[in-house]
Structure 1
Amino acid sequence: MSGKTPSSSSSVIQAQKLVDQLRLEASMERFKQISLTAADLVQYCQEHRCSDPLLVGIAASANPFKEKKTCMLL
């Protein structure tokens, strides 16, 4: 019998999975020109700002979250 408990063998397996994942991530090619990507994102946002509902708002007739009018009896 080996002196290992089930929890220690599972932690070794977990550590091996972590090492494998880190090796995989380390071998991935990264974007070298992040500033170019950010510039593209800014340009896209500026081109589409006229149709962005957060900037221009939503027409009251097209708003699905508008509160319904309730009927009140006096």
Structure 2
Amino acid sequence: MTTTATTIEPPVLTGADRCDRCGAQAYVRAVLHSGGELLFCGHHSRAVEETLRPQTTLWQDETNKLHEKQPVDDD
């Protein structure tokens, strides 16, 4: 008998995802052990990471997107 483990990737954060503290675009998703989920902008994620991260099952950090060059639309 063979068993296969499946890893489910969390959904990518989009421009529609907003920081729960200030409403800016969210770049970090924190899934809590208790089952809740919090979204943070880069600034607020850094402010709470040390305290909050030990309470999470997932810390999805996409702050690298802040430094990506966006394509230019030449319309």
Name the structure with the higher helix share. 1
Higher relative contact order (CA 8 A, sep 6+): 2
TM-score by length of 1: 0.19
Name the structure with the higher strand share. 2
Based on CA coordinates, which of the two structures has the bigger radius of gyration?
1
